[in-house]
Homo-oligomer: A and B are copies of this chain.
């Protein structure tokens, strides 16, 4: 088969359809297009909203997870604390001749057959050596490359008129949650466990986003941070999900070069230690079910564990939920990271604000413990007006840590304050403890909305009698029902518009269409994935019945107009069968 006659793959088809029907396209085409930026048109925006609505229905409405909406821009401090300023970087090389810049890992993969996970392990020096060894030249002009260097892939800006007030565009929505933990804990009525979700735009200043890979510079992320007590890590939803199967690709097998999928139940995954946190296992099961709801069968999904050097800096264990797509093979749609107390601890350290929660014991416990007593007579002269603060923070610091640090270093660092042994008294005393203070642990499921949109489209796509159909699951279809007059005369449009208005008033996403023949309108509706079509004909004017047509089977039934709202509600909310919408009808 030559290239010219090859059938285009689904990726090409979906992108062409998406562009033509206005689901999405590359932004700013009139200015030559901007790599990594995509605009959703009417149908795409609504598909994405419906997918996000499903996330909200599950997490916010049913599981009671709080939702927040925080800014995209944050002061530098936030991302210094989170570790992004230090770690959120890619290795880049610049062509000395044409000055074009490339991601080193892309070059190594393409020209030296060094895989992604291997490339991530390499140091600056090793990357340089690999480029030299494989004689990699600029793919654009053939020039040689300069020294590899790190490029921070956050968008940098300045907040206000002062040039030193650096701000960044958020590369994830999670930090907007962590920095507001104290507020959120209060909103959760100071009880663990609880979760917070944020769905919104995020920004990653990719070096050279390759068209189509859906690695965008601006995208929509749904980050869910679930906070729990590490000493009470049990998930109260476990019993509902323990028998769900999870298809896992384990790090231990990857290290042996195998991507074998191990199918285990949630329960087994936990007892065998494959997944470290119960909540994480349950969220993975929920993620799998969600994708099934978006039209991706379980057998086209897997969860692949990240190797130590592939993981983000904050995670102790991390799985990517991947979907099998035609062009790209396994394709990430969500990440599941066990972030422990990393983020809250870092913000505590950088802000000096206590992020710990207090949990009362059922009855006070008496125990011997080390206590740190600040000596005000010593602190006063050294810290002046801050002395009281320092004393308070000292009495809240972990005494074991203070003692250990003083033994080891001869001092203890309290934020920026150096505490010397003579400022304090360390004693062992019996104390009655009412409870304990600790930093909650976090598991994070994180979904890429745009990638969910893409897989929903690819899995909805089919061809029937040579015609394209998007068989969206009925609750994510951008338009629920098309309403058509059989012909555009003799009062049919007027009657159809009445029905259209009734359905809109009832809250359905209904579209009126009278352009072209009825057959053409059905074909157009199938291609944009409208589950039901209602056609008004001359009989409607006589007996007040309409034809209802199913997008997927092209079957038709005849239903009474006054029953439509109730029937459609049954169909969309309660998943009634199409056949239950009326009497069989041969159009």
Contacts and interface: CB of A to CB of B under 8 A. Distances in A.
A217 interface: yes
Contact of A42 (B159, B187, B504): B187
A68 B42 contact: yes
A75 B161 contact: no
A27 B70 contact: yes
A460 interface: no
B151 A37 contact: no
A200 B69 CA distance: 11
Interface in A489-542: 504, 506-507, 509, 515
B45 A68 contact: yes
Contacts of A28: 74-75, 77-78, 179
A310 B213 CA distance: 46
Contacts of A45: 67-69
A218 B71 contact: yes
Nearest to A199: B45
Given A73-B203, A160-B205, A217-B73, A39 B68 contact: yes
Contacts of A183: 22, 25, 29, 39, 41
Contacts of A38: 71
Query: Taking chain A's interface residues, is the majority helix, strand, or loop, or is none over half, making it mixed?
Result: mixed
A187 B22 contact: yes
Contacts of A66: 22, 41-42
A181 B68 CA distance: 33
Nearest to A100: B162
A157 to B, nearest CB: 5
B30 A70 contact: no
A125 interface: no
B157 A169 contact: yes
Contact of A156 (B29, B37, B158, B207): B158
A42 B197 CA distance: 9
A35 B353 contact: no
Contacts of A148: none
A186 B27 CA distance: 16
A253 interface: no
Contacts of A182: 30
A16 to B, nearest CB: 14
A112 interface: no
Contacts of A11: none
A520 to B, nearest CB: 13
Contact of A351 (B30, B101, B169): B30
A258 interface: no
B39 A67 contact: no
Given A42-B68, A157-B156, A504 B37 contact: no
Given A68-B45, A160-B208, A189 B73 contact: no
Given A41-B183, A73-B218, A509 B61 contact: yes
A347 interface: yes
A289 B134 CA distance: 69
A35 B160 contact: yes
A438 to B, nearest CB: 18
A66 B511 CA distance: 12
Contacts of A416: none
B62 A42 contact: no
Given A29-B183, A31-B75, A72-B201, 8 more contacts: A22-B186, A40-B70, A42-B66, A46-B67, A73-B155, A73-B218, A92-B161, A157-B205
Interface of A: 21-22, 25, 27-31, 34-35, 37-42, 44-46, 48, 61-62, 66-75, 77-78, 92, 101, 151, 155-162, 167, 169, 176, 179-180, 182-184, 186-187, 189, 200-201, 203, 205-208, 217-218, 347, 350-351, 353, 504, 506-507, 509, 515, 573
6 contacts: A27-B180, A28-B77, A31-B179, A34-B74, A73-B169, A160-B206
